[in-house]
Structure 1
Amino acid sequence: MLDLNIKFAEKFVSTDELDAYAAAHADVLARCQAGEERYADSQGWLDVDEWAGPEILDRTEKLAAHIREIADTFVIIGVGGSNNSARAVVEATHPSGARIVYAGNTLSAYELNRVIEELEGHEVVIDCIAKNFETLEPGSSFRLLRQYLVKRYGREEAARRIVCCGTIGSPLEDLCHAEGYTFVPFATNVGGRYTALTEVHLLPLAVAGADIRALAAGAKKMQELCRCSDSVSNSAWRYACARNILWDRGYRVELLGFFEPRFRWFSKWWEQLFAESEGKDGKGIFPSSLECSEEMHSLGQYAQDGTHQLFETFIDLTTPGEGDSLVLGGTDVADAFGYLDGKDFWDINKASFTATRAAHAEVLPVFTLEIDRIDEEHFGMLFYWFAFACYASGSLLGVNPFDQPGVEAYKRLMFEALGK
């Protein structure tokens, strides 16, 4: 399960204060739990079964099995919300299905050439994920890789190797019907960054060999907690309240910290979720990440001694799993690290985490989200917990958590420059 530990933030936000704030804004919690008519076109994710129910899981697994029969490499052509969730799970759990290659998230000629090189010697299927089929990065990569498949396999065989996930009735669906590509519907009432528990990500995960039923089951556990618990026992709600208490006091940056590198791509998903949902109307806590031990001598230094406008939320893996133990033997030379003789790297890493958290908690608020394991079920929990918390936090902040008007500004200028 997931547990929110606020012990190391109580110097800055007391339990009594958090209780009072949560209770005073209980009407916001009630609205978030019920869903709101004004956001009806964006809240399909609130009920996990709507887009990850048994029928959808069945057809997704069937299509994934077919893809694995004809390919060992599956290319996700998508940007941001269209690839981050699946990538977070794949890169953390390393499932044993098809190899996943990521495209559609760059306009760099160098990187796109590298992607094509990665496909040589492999049997390939591509998946273009585009809700409105207007975003430049996936659109241009789709043309590039579609033409690569046609040149390599011929037009008819290439069509068997192309999957598209788009909006029903969109130009992308029309293209699929015209050319014979497989079409998968993009959840009609879910925005990109909230699509972790829809076919947008379920299909790539199933092709990779991940257990999508466990993912959905974990999310459903968090749905029960988030939508049915009161303001005292609802940890996602309390996290949202704590963030807004700190916002009101002038805190402007949140670091998502972790001492387990397997959370690296999850942190990218988290950054997009909160940045795109809350960063508008001149408001919003800036979301960044702190990967330890890699960044302890950079961002860790700033957190400890820099301007104290930030707070931290650590994800702490509490229980060692398979591969989480490695005992360091005794020294064979006078290397001055004799105090490590016989110690397990699990314990060494845990000592580094607890020391860092204690030191940082002296100067800034530190929350800890404790997680038992790294697997599909727990990723399902994480996706739902943070999505609900983000919805609640944005509502408390007074912004629309589901639009992204700022993204359109650069697109207008870019399309003008390209002659669209």
Structure 2
Amino acid sequence: MIRLDDTHVRPFLDDYSSSDLPEAIQTAHATVQRGDGPGSDFLGWRTLAESPNEDLISEIETHAERLHSDADALLCLGIGGSYLGAKAVIDALTPYFPAGDNDTPDVYFAGHQTSGAYLKQLLAHLDGQSVFVNVISKSGTTLETALAFRIVRQWMEERFDDADDRIIATTSPEGGALNALREDHAYTRYVIPPDVGGRFSVLTPVGLLPIAAAGIDIRALMNGASEMHDHVNGTTPNASLQYAALRYALLHAGYDVEVLATFEPSLASIGGWWQQLFGESEGKDGKGLFPASVEYTTDLHSLGQYMQDGQRIVMETFLMAEDAGEDLTVPTSEADLDGLNYVADRPMRAVTQGAYEGTAQAHTDGGVPNCTLWLDDISPRSVGALIYFFEHAVAVSGYALGVNPFNQPGVEDYKREMYQRLGR
């Protein structure tokens, strides 16, 4: 399912063995399994994978079929975990350039920043299309999302007589602004499980509805997560725990930054979701690796210099796929004026592989420990497995560091200061 290659980490850690997990990791893993650590009332993401809700999945599939037939566009409003997971999965599993006659709606995201220009141009682009809206927020009062929804709600009501039937609210089971609005507008509602935090919510209706609307097989996605759940909870050591252990060991060896590097553009948004998952889960009490994501080979021509020769505080995790899907073969040129015949008749994937291998070795030689996570392919099953892989790893990492991996008190500080300045 997911294979961890730690070849380029071993030279940096004395007495390191991937089969001998540190006691802190073993203890943290047991805490997650027992469900009795700090924040344990937010372990519902484990239950989702262990026992997928078949009725809910069927309901979402049926709703997605309606969107396939009636919608040109689905506009999702949310911030943080309310959009990053869905965007990551959709970007990974849909074509880079969808055909104009696509049978599924185009999925757009808003409510994740406060740019009036972005929202104005997006609505102008959507004007004249059959638009449905999915607003996603537990409280319904998160400023960025609530502002966008007020504007979008008015825009929808001005254009569609059945605007209320086109709006879907994904929110808490009770209370909050969206549930209050539903009393007047009877929006379709999906419930965010109270025991699942935002950054862990991609396998709830938060992510599953937009993902299904985009034409992705959510059953295969859930099956991959379930297989990974069974694997990480039944086999010790396993790749998820080894990854957590490796990060833990490198942090204590003085490496304070982790860079997640992808070579396939479709996986780049996985980096954005991973960045939030690990940043909000570990970054507390002056602890945790700082997570950042890059896209190679593009960023090798910018951040590559720092990675090779900058401060030696960085570890690197490559996210690769054994089978990345469609490919092209480099043509032969008789004149060879561009000097590229040395790669002629090879697939572009061979060039990517060479770039990956060369980067891993060069960064190792430059003092950057790096590991590689290998997916079987880029498919719903593999992406579902990867989601659970990272969720379990970060829960274990947080407990091993001595923090609650399921809260985010620092995020509330910026909100308090912002609201004060806006006069709330």
Residue 254 (structure 2) pairs with residue 250 (structure 1): yes
Residue 28 (structure 2) pairs with residue 28 (structure 1): yes
Aligned pair in 2 of structure 1 residues 51, 160: CA closer, same or farther (>3 Å)?
farther
Query: Residues of 2 paired with 1:93 and 1:374: CA distance?
Result: 7
Query: Residues of 2 paired with 1:14 and 1:201: CA distance?
Result: 41
- Partner letter of residue 150 of structure 2? R
> What fraction of aligned residue pairs are identical, expressed as a percent?
36
The equivalent of 1:353 in structure 2 is: 356
User: Structure 1 residue aligned with 2:167, among 146, 150, 162?
Assistant: 162
User: Structure 1 residue aligned with 2:390, among 370, 386, 389?
Assistant: 386
Q: Is the deviation greater in 86-95 or in 265-274?
A: 86-95
Query: Residues of 1 paired with 2:148 and 2:76: CA distance?
Result: 10
**Match of 2:284, SS?**
coil
Residue 118 (structure 2) pairs with residue 118 (structure 1): no
Query: Residues of 2 paired with 1:147 and 1:65: CA distance?
Result: 26
Query: Residues of 1 paired with 2:23 and 2:327: CA distance?
Result: 40
User: Structure 1 residue aligned with 2:283, among 275, 279, 283?
Assistant: 279
Deviations 1:64-98 (A, max 9, x none): 22233321210110111111111111112216521
Contact 1:241–1:396 (CA under 8 A) maintained in structure 2: no
Contact 1:328–1:345 (CA under 8 A) maintained in structure 2: no
Report the alpha carbon displacement of residue 115 of structure 1 after superposing the two structures with TM. Answer: 1.1
- Partner letter of residue 155 of structure 2? Y
Deviations 1:261-303 (A, max 9, x none): 1111110000000111111111111001121111002222111
User: Structure 2 residue aligned with 1:218, among 219, 224, 232?
Assistant: 224
Deviations 1:130-152 (A, max 9, x none): 01112111100001111001011
Report the alpha carbon displacement of residue 314 of structure 1 after superposing the two structures with TM. Answer: 0.3
Deviations 1:237-273 (A, max 9, x none): 1111111111111111001011111111110000000
The equivalent of 1:301 in structure 2 is: 305
Residue 182 (structure 2) pairs with residue 179 (structure 1): no
Residue 416 (structure 2) pairs with residue 412 (structure 1): yes
The equivalent of 1:92 in structure 2 is: 92
Aligned pair in 2 of structure 1 residues 142, 351: CA closer, same or farther (>3 Å)?
same
Query: Residues of 2 paired with 1:309 and 1:105: CA distance?
Result: 31
**Aligned-residue CA RMSD (Å):** 1.7
- Partner letter of residue 169 of structure 1? E
Report the alpha carbon displacement of residue 412 of structure 1 after superposing the two structures with TM. Answer: 0.8
Report the alpha carbon displacement of residue 335 of structure 1 after superposing the two structures with TM. Answer: 1.9
**Match of 1:336, SS?**
coil
Aligned pair in 2 of structure 1 residues 331, 275: CA closer, same or farther (>3 Å)?
farther
**Match of 1:131, SS?**
coil
The equivalent of 1:343 in structure 2 is: 346
Query: Residues of 2 paired with 1:182 and 1:51: CA distance?
Result: 25
Report the alpha carbon displacement of residue 10 of structure 1 after superposing the two structures with TM. Answer: 0.8
Query: Residues of 2 paired with 1:49 and 1:339: CA distance?
Result: 47
Report the alpha carbon displacement of residue 33 of structure 1 after superposing the two structures with TM. Answer: 2.2
Aligned pair in 2 of structure 1 residues 399, 37: CA closer, same or farther (>3 Å)?
closer
Contact 1:82–1:192 (CA under 8 A) maintained in structure 2: yes
Contact 2:28–2:397 (CA under 8 A) maintained in structure 1: no
The equivalent of 2:154 in structure 1 is: 147
Query: Residues of 2 paired with 1:295 and 1:93: CA distance?
Result: 22
User: Structure 1 residue aligned with 2:270, among 266, 273, 276?
Assistant: 266
TM-score (norm 2): 0.94
Aligned pair in 2 of structure 1 residues 79, 320: CA closer, same or farther (>3 Å)?
closer
Query: Residues of 1 paired with 2:225 and 2:146: CA distance?
Result: 31
The equivalent of 2:53 in structure 1 is: 53
- Partner letter of residue 241 of structure 1? A
Which runs of structure 2 are paired with 1:311-390 in the superposition (5 Å)?
Answer: 311-321=315-325, 323-332=326-335, 334-362=337-365, 363-390=367-394
Contact 2:25–2:397 (CA under 8 A) maintained in structure 1: no
TM-score (norm 1): 0.95
Report the alpha carbon displacement of residue 374 of structure 1 after superposing the two structures with TM. Answer: 0.6
Query: Residues of 2 paired with 1:24 and 1:50: CA distance?
Result: 25
Aligned pair in 2 of structure 1 residues 373, 274: CA closer, same or farther (>3 Å)?
same
**Match of 1:372, SS?**
strand
**Match of 2:351, SS?**
helix
Report the alpha carbon displacement of residue 25 of structure 1 after superposing the two structures with TM. Answer: 4.3
Deviations 1:102-150 (A, max 9, x none): 1111111111112102212310000100011121111000011110010
Contact 2:329–2:345 (CA under 8 A) maintained in structure 1: no
Give the 4+ runs in structure 1 shifted more than 3 A.
14-21, 49-52
The equivalent of 2:98 in structure 1 is: none
Aligned pair in 2 of structure 1 residues 343, 403: CA closer, same or farther (>3 Å)?
same
Query: Residues of 2 paired with 1:327 and 1:121: CA distance?
Result: 42
Query: Residues of 1 paired with 2:25 and 2:269: CA distance?
Result: 33
Count of aligned residue pairs for this structure pair: 415
Contact 1:164–1:183 (CA under 8 A) maintained in structure 2: yes
Aligned pair in 2 of structure 1 residues 326, 341: CA closer, same or farther (>3 Å)?
closer
Aligned pair in 2 of structure 1 residues 52, 97: CA closer, same or farther (>3 Å)?
farther
Report the alpha carbon displacement of residue 196 of structure 1 after superposing the two structures with TM. Answer: 1.3
